[in-house]
């Protein structure tokens, strides 16, 4: 017998046993936690189709603001206003938040709230908040007042904008 051979057998057996245990635990974990569906990595980007010379461009949708405002619903506007309540208040004398208080906004001068820090773009816009101006602003704030600090992207549905303007009109 080789001196120290018995110790070598112990070490070799321990290494083999540890490797076997790691392999078995790995297989058991794979069986227990295997996903039920395959996940694809990354994301897809929808690219609009380019029109060829023969295809006519689709006409832009023209919104009849006056007709929408005439048919607007105050109750629906109050529901739409909940989207704004994270940044604005609607009560008389209410505090400014991230955005100014909106009590009496219809017909008032733009950037008129005392104590609120408006962007330079909004201060330079000038004029009054008419129903049509509010409608355009609520549809696309950054397009209507380039440089505004308002981060809300706008209301995509013209009906929602008209309803919200109708609700804001009642706040006086």
Q: What is the 3-state secondary structure (H, E, C) of the chain?
A: CCCCHHHHHHHHHHHHHHHHHHHHHHHHHHHHCCCCCCCCCCCCCCCCCCCCCCCCCCCCCCCCHHHHHHCCCHHHHHHHHHHCCCCCCCCCCCCCCCCCCCCCCCCCECCCCCCCCCCHHHHHHCCECCHHHHHHHHHCHHHHCCCCCCCCCCCCCHHHHHHHHHHHHHCC
Identify whether residues 20 and 96 lie together within a single domain: no
**What's the pTM value of the predicted model, to 2 decimals?**
0.64
Domain count for the chain, please give it.
Answer: 2
The mean per-residue pLDDT over the stretch 119-129 comes to 93
Identify whether residues 26 and 69 lie together within a single domain: no
148 within some domain: yes
More confident position, 46 or 68: 68
Q: What's the pLDDT at 23?
A: 94
Identify whether residues 87 and 164 lie together within a single domain: yes
Identify whether residues 9 and 71 lie together within a single domain: no
1 within some domain: yes
Q: What's the pLDDT at 10?
A: 87
Q: What's the pLDDT at 3?
A: 55
Q: What's the pLDDT at 1?
A: 47
117 within some domain: yes
The mean per-residue pLDDT over the stretch 33-53 comes to 68
Contacts 24+ apart (CB under 8 A), 96-100: 99/150
**Residue 105 scores a pLDDT above 50:** yes
Least confident interval from 37-41, 125-129, 143-147: 37-41
43 within some domain: no
Identify whether residues 83 and 131 lie together within a single domain: yes
What is the average pLDDT score of the chain? 86
Identify whether residues 158 and 73 lie together within a single domain: yes
Range of the domain at 79: 65-170
**Residue 5 scores a pLDDT above 60:** no
Q: What's the pLDDT at 65?
A: 86
Alpha carbons within 13 angstroms on the beta-carbon side of residue 75 total 0
Identify whether residues 78 and 28 lie together within a single domain: no
Alpha-carbon span 81 to 98, nearest angstrom: 15
The domain that contains 133 carries what CATH number? 1.10.760.10
């Amino acid at each position: 017998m080789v001196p120290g051979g018995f110790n070598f057998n112990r070490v070799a057996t321990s290494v083999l046993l540890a490797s076997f245990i790691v392999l078995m635990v790995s297989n058991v974990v794979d069986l227990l936690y295997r996903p039920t569906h395959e996940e694809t990595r990354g994301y897809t980007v929808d690219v609009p189709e380019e029109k060829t010379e023969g295809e006519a461009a689709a006409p832009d949708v023209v919104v009849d603001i006056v007709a929408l405002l005439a048919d607007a619903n105050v109750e629906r506007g109050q529901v739409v206003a909940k989207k704004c309540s994270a940044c604005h208040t609607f009560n008389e004398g209410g505090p400014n938040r991230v955005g100014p208080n909106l009590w009496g906004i219809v017909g008032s001068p733009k950037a008129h709230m005392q104590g609120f820090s408006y962007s330079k773009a909004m201060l330079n816009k000038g004029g009054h908040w008419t129903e049509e101006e509010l409608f355009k602003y609520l549809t696309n704030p950054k397009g209507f007042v380039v440089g505004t600090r308002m981060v809300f992207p706008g209301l995509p549905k013209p009906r929602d904008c008209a309803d919200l303007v109708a609700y804001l009109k009642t706040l006086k």
